[in-house]
Structures are given as C-alpha cells and as structure tokens.
C-alpha cells in the first residue's frame, strides 16, 4: 500500500517537504493543504514587489522558468495533490486523520495519513493597542498584504506612513515605501534597529536610513492608532507624540502558528515553537514539523531558539520530507542565525553570536572592528565595516557582523562556513580565499579582520572600540586623541571630539607635540585606522606605554561628527 503523506502548509517548508518525499518515493500519495489562495510564495520578495523593483506579481509564486506554482503545477509536474483555500481544523493523532474545511464551500472532509508534516508558519505579532483594526493599519506577511501596499504605491495617494518595528521586515518596508515617494517614520521600542547587530553597527545603519530622508525614532513604545470614520489618521506613542499618517505597517516580529499542534497535544518548546528532535520529528513519531512554527538548536550555544528564515524553512522541509518516506535517516543540526538584508545603499548581515549575546552566554569575549574596502580602489571599491566576535580562551570564532555598501554577502557567507567548521582565529589568518582585483583585495577584508583579531589576542594591537572611547569621554576622561590623516582629509570629514591632527608622515619629527608623560593614554586613528595602527607602533617604540588604536577609525564612528 502506498504511503500517505499529508503536509499542512504550502508556503516554503511545506512544498519543499512534499517535493522531497515524492522524489524519494514516487509511489507515495502526497497531499499539500494550504489555507491561502497562493502556494510557494517568495515572501522575502514582498518588499521589493511593493517598491516596484519588479512588477510581475506572479514572479513571487513562479518557478525559475516562469511557471506559476499552483495546484495544477503540483499535480502535473510533481505528482502532488495540492488543495488551496482549504483549512485544516483538527488533527486526530489516534486515528491519524486531519479534518479539512473548504473555505469557499464550507464543506468538511477527513483525510488519513501515515506521516504528517506540519508547516503552518508564523503569524504577525499584533500588540493589543487601541485602533489596530482601523483601515490603513496592515502587516506585510501575506500576498494580500503585498498587494495592498503595492496598490498604495501605484495610486500615490498616501503621503505619510509609519512603520512600527525596526527589524528586517520593518527596515525593508521602510525602504520600499520611501522609494515610492512616501514620507516614512520608523518606530522601534528598543534602543536600536536591527537587533541582530551590536549597537555600534546598527547605529551606522540608522544614520544611513536617516540620510535617505526616513525618520527613525528608537526607545519608544507604540500606544495606539488614531482615526476618523474608521480610517487611520495618526500613530500615538507612549511619550504622547502623535505622528499624522494615512498608513501604518506593523513589523514587530512573528509568533509561531502552533494552534493546530497545541490542540492536537503536541509538545511546545520553551521558545513557543513546536518541539522537534534532530530528525524534525515532534513528540508524536508519526508527525514532523518544519519552518517558522518550530524551535531549533542554536549551533554555538546548544540552546533552543527560533529562526523564521526562508532558507532554513526550505532546508528543514527537505529533511522532513526525506524522513517521512525513508525513516529517520537524515538530521537537521540547527542554526547559526545567518542573515542579510538590504538597507537602501547599504547591506547588513550577521552570523553566529553578537558581542552582547556571547557575553550573555558566558563566553570570555574578544572583539575587533575592521573598516576597509571590499576590493581595490581602482576597481570601484566600496566600504565594509565588520565586527568579529571570538572566544578569547580558545580563539574560536563565535560570530561576525558586517555592514556597508560593499559585498557584505561574501563576508557573511565566509564567516558562516568558518562557524560550521568551528575554526579559530589561527585557522582564519591564512585562509585560502579567491583573489582577483574585480572581486577582492589581495588580503580579503575577512582575512584582514582575522589579522586584527590575532594581533589583539597576542597583545600586538591595543584596540579600543568607538563605544568604549565615547564612554571614556562621557565620564570626563581625557585621552590624547591623535588623528594621523592628511590636512585635506581632516578638513573634509572629522569626528570633532577634541582630536589633534598630526599626519603620519610628520609624526616622527613631531613627537615633541605629544604629551611627554609616557603613561598618558593616547588613542590613534585615521580614516579606517590602518595608519592609526602604524602610528601606535611608532609611539610604542618611542616609549609611550598606553597607546591604543580606535578600531574602524572615522568610518566606523557611529556618533555625530563635526563634519
């Protein structure tokens, strides 16, 4: 008798699981049940459809060769039965059946399964505030939401909008609407946007968002929505501020859609996602779960986490589909939380642990910030600013963050594979990465960051981050701040924190212009602190004992500059 596989959910993980099961066991009877009208939606593409980066809506639900992935596609091409606009209302684990309701006709029926795969995804988080049901308040979670926002863009009637939430979706939505000519304000209740980054890198991105005429307000909570005649007119904040607008997009995260699983008595994990083992099997041996509705293992800490990312959903679906037809032969190891997003002309990515998270987990943390180019200047170089986090005891890489207009994706992909290999700084400093001027510097930015970290761990680089330096200044401490750039560079752009300009080429003959107390703290820097490092070595050789280098230099300074 053919094995009967039912998949609940037809977005990303579900169709991948179904396709994998059918490929490995062509005799299996595979059925996908999808509540929405569409299937296999490229939901990460919604902001770009809204922005007008592409105009063909079907591109979000089509194969690479342009065929729409609808029920006909699944049955004709895959041999998989797909039922859209159909809701699973109950799972009977004893009888191994699911009860379904056709959302158009209301007709109920039952389907039997040998193995069930739950891929019910996540629901947008909605705060319990007044006015949330007003017309003009939306999310960007579904094709329907994307269609609504695209109509707003195309009609051009909305002049002001507020995005609530400064995470990935919030910032991508901010860009999409701003590019449509809408005046945007982003509201974030936490002290920074993009919480997967440490503050100093997130602040650089926040400054960039502001430079694109989008306002950002952090550290303030939403109080509610105001309206007239059922339509949104303003967003009210807890500090009393009212922001007039005709559109508000809620982007404050998602929660696992576990209603069916809970009703069926499946175990829910501590993070709120469905508990699964390494085979993605739930507490019922006949039921698997995948995608945004589950919790995973964090591969560095071993703890449980949630990671609602489209790429992981596809990988999980592949594993569950194979196990459903062949037995528990493959495993899914968890996540490093690798991610990347576009922020106007900048990119932002991370993998592994941030400094803050690593310290929370009890690691003896060492960090370094590197600002440098992604390729030679003569090949159209763009800036990258990276922060590397390592375990100071073992030298093992714990995480990397990278922002800037340069090739962030390459940096984060390299770092993710280094995490997978449990590599140390000693491994990274001589990594054999590809080099040619159109693609990289002779010493790639990633390897250069590892060099800085090696120098720091060995005591050859006494680095200080911008946050630490600013804290010193705010406490009233007065290190001697030495800018070793050229006068032209200094006139064009400077931090303005009481620094003294002595170009590196003049430093040897101007040592008398420095504090003669050899114990006095001196902080050296330049545009990216390469010359700052050279200056520090020179001063140490001349007898100064407390010389530091401002990591990342002027380009990584996240605070207001004088110029």
Does the model's pTM come out above 0.75? Answer: yes
Residue 337 lies in a domain: no
235 and 246 part of one domain: yes
One domain for residues 109 and 168: no
Residues 261 and 117 in one domain: yes
The reply to whether 458 falls in a domain is no
**What does the alpha-carbon distance between residue 28 and residue 25 come to, in Å, rounded to a whole number?**
6
| 451 within some domain | no
pLDDT at residue 63, as a whole number:
93
Do the domain assignments include residue 94?
A: yes
CB 198 within 8 A of CB 352: no
The separation between the first and the last C-alpha atoms of the chain, rounded to the nearest angstrom, is 75
pLDDT value at residue 2: 84
Mean pLDDT of 255-280: 98
Do 212 and 285 have their domain in common?
no
Report pLDDT digits (tens) over 105-135: 999 999 999 999 999 999 999 999 999 999 9
Confidence label for 524 from pLDDT (cuts 50, 70 and 90): very high
Res 442 pLDDT > 70: yes
Ordered DSSP codes for 337-382: --EEEEETTEEEEEEE--HHHHHHTT--EEEEEEEEESS-GGGT--
Tokens 């602040």 found at = 203
CB 39 within 8 A of CB 70: yes
Token pair of 253 as six digits: 């995260």
My answer on whether 417 and 480 are in the same domain is no
341 occurs within a structural domain? no
Task: Identify whether 457 is part of a domain.
Answer: no
- At 283-306, the pLDDT tens digits run 999 999 999 999 999 999 999 999
Q: Is the torsion defined by CA of 537, 541, 543, 545 positive or negative?
A: positive
pLDDT at 213: 83
Cα distance between residue 149 and residue 136, in whole Å: 10
User: pLDDT category, 214, cuts 50, 70, 90?
Assistant: confident
Q: 159-179 in b/e burial notation, b at 16+ Cβ within 10 A? A: ebbbbbbbbbbbbbbbbbbbb
CATH value at residue 396: 3.30.390.30
Asked, for residue 63, whether it belongs to a domain, the answer is yes
State the total domains in the chain.
Answer: 4
Contact 348, 310 (CB under 8 A): no
Q: 469 CB contacts (<8 Å, ≥6 apart)?
A: 479, 523, 550
28, 1 contact by CB (below 8 A): no
Same domain for 110 and 32: yes
Backbone angles phi, psi at 494, to 5 degrees: -150, 160
The residue segments making up the domain with residue 361 are 347-431
Q: Considering 221, 252, 283, which residue would you say is the last residue of a domain?
A: 252
User: Rounded to an integer, what distance in angstroms lies between the CA atom of residue 143 and that of residue 154?
Assistant: 16
Out of 44, 174, 402, 526, pick the active-site residue: 44
Instruction: Collapse the DSSP code of 50 into the 3-class scheme (helix H, G, I; strand E, B; otherwise coil) and give the result.
Output: helix
pLDDT tens column, 356-381: 999 999 999 999 999 999 999 999 99
Sole residue written with tokens 């280098």: 549
On whether both 168 and 245 belong to a single domain, the answer is: yes
Contact 554, 495 (CB under 8 A): yes
Q: Where are the alpha helices (DSSP H) in 285-343?
A: 310-326
Place of tokens 């009877």: 29
pLDDT band of 563, cuts 50, 70, 90: confident
Instruction: Kindly tell me if the per-residue pLDDT of 1 is higher than 80.
Output: no
Mark whether 410 and 357 lie in a shared domain: yes
CATH at 531: 3.40.250.10
Provide the CB-side half-sphere exposure for 184 (13 A, CA). 27
* Cβ atoms of residues 271 and 306 within 8 Å: yes
**Domain stops at, among 219, 235, 252:** 252
Residue 12 sits in the same domain as residue 99: yes
- Which residues on adjacent β-strands are paired with residue 365? 391
Do 282 and 371 lie in one domain? The reply is no
Which domain CATH number covers 184? Answer: 3.50.50.60
Query: Which of 519, 527, 520, 537 is closest to 480 using CA atoms?
Result: 520
Q: Do 381 and 415 belong to one domain?
A: yes
Q: How much of the chain is in helix, strand and coil states, percent to nearest 5? A: 30, 25, 40
User: Do 533 and 469 fall within a single domain?
Assistant: yes
How far, in Å, are 483, 495, 501, 508 from residue 487 at the CA level?
10, 14, 8, 17
pLDDT in tens, 121-170: 999 999 999 999 999 999 999 999 999 999 999 999 999 999 999 999 99
Answer with the one of 252, 282, 315 that is the final residue of a domain. 252
Residue 475 lies in a domain: yes
In the block, tokens 């430079």 appear at 211
Write the pLDDT tens digit of every residue in 175-212.
999 998 999 999 999 999 999 999 999 999 999 999 99
Provide the token pair at 165. Answer: 């939430």
> How does pLDDT run across 462-518, given as a tens digit for each residue?
999 999 999 999 999 999 999 999 999 999 999 999 999 999 999 999 999 999 999
Please state, in angstroms and rounded to a whole number, the distance separating the CA atoms of residues 73 and 85: 16
Specify whether 245 is catalytic: no
Which of 104, 121, 97 shows the shortest CA–CA distance to 39? 121
Residue written as token pair 């001697």: 480
The H helix count followed by the E strand count for the chain is 15, 30
The residue with tokens 């609602």 is: 308
């Amino acid at each position: 008798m053919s094995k009967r596989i039912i998949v609940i959910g037809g977005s990303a993980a579900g169709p991948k699981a179904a396709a994998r099961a059918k490929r490995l066991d062509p005799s299996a009877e595979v059925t996908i049940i999808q509540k929405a009208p569409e299937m296999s939606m490229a939901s990460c593409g919604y902001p770009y459809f809204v922005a007008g980066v592409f105009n063909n809506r079907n591109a979000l639900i089509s194969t690479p060769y342009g065929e729409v992935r609808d029920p006909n596609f699944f049955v004709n091409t895959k041999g998989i039965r797909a039922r859209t606009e159909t809701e699973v209302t109950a799972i009977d684990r004893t009888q191994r059946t699911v009860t379904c309701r056709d959302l158009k006709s209301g007709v109920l029926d039952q389907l039997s399964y040998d193995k069930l795969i739950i891929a019910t995804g996540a629901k947008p988080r909605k705060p319990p505030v007044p006015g949330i049901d007003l017309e003009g308040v939306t999310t960007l979670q579904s094709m329907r939401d994307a269609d609504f926002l695209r109509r707003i863009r195309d009609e051009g009637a909305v002049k002001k909008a507020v995005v609530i939430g400064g995470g990935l979706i919030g910032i991508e939505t901010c860009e999409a609407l701003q590019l449509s000519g809408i005046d945007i304000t982003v509201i974030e209740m936490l002290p920074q946007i993009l919480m997967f980054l440490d503050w100093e890198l997130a602040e650089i991105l926040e400054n960039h968002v502001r430079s694109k005429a989008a306002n950002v307000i952090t550290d303030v909570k939403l109080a509610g929505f105001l309206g007239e005649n059922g339509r949104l007119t303003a967003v009210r904040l807890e500090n009393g501020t009212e922001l007039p607008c005709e559109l508000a997009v809620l982007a404050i995260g998602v929660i696992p859609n576990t209603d069916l699983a809970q009703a069926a008595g499946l175990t829910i994990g501590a993070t709120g996602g469905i508990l699964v083992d390494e085979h993605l099997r739930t507490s019922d041996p006949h039921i698997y779960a995948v995608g945004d509705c589950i919790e995973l293992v964090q591969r560095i800490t071993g703890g449980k986490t949630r990671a609602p990312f489209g790429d992981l959903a596809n990988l999980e679906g592949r594993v569950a589909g194979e196990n459903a037809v062949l037995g528990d032969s493959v495993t899914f190891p968890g996540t490093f939380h690798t991610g990347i997003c576009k922020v106007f002309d900048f990119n932002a990515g991370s993998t592994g642990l941030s400094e803050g998270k690593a310290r929370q987990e009890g690691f003896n943390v060492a960090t370094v910030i590197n600002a440098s180019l992604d390729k030679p200047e003569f090949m159209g170089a763009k800036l990258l600013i990276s922060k590397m986090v390592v375990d100071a005891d073992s030298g093992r890489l714990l995480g990397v963050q990278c922002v800037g207009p340069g090739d962030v994706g390459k940096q984060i992909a390299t770092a993710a594979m280094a995490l997978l290999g449990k590599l140390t700084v000693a491994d990274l400093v001589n990594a054999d990465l590809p080099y040619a001027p159109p693609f990289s510097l002779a010493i790639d930015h990633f390897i250069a960051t590892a060099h800085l970290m090696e120098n720091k761990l060995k005591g050859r680089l006494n680095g200080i981050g911008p946050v630490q330096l600013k804290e010193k200044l705010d406490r009233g401490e007065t290190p001697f701040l030495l800018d070793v750039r050229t006068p032209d560079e200094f006139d064009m752009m400077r931090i303005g924190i009481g620094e003294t300009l002595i170009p590196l080429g003049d430093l040897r003959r101007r040592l008398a212009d420095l504090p003669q107390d050899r114990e006095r703290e001196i902080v050296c820097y330049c545009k990216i602190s390469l010359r700052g490092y050279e200056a520090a070595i020179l001063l140490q050789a001349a007898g100064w004992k407390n010389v530091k280098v401002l990591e990342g230099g002027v380009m990584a300074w996240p605070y207001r500059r004088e110029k």
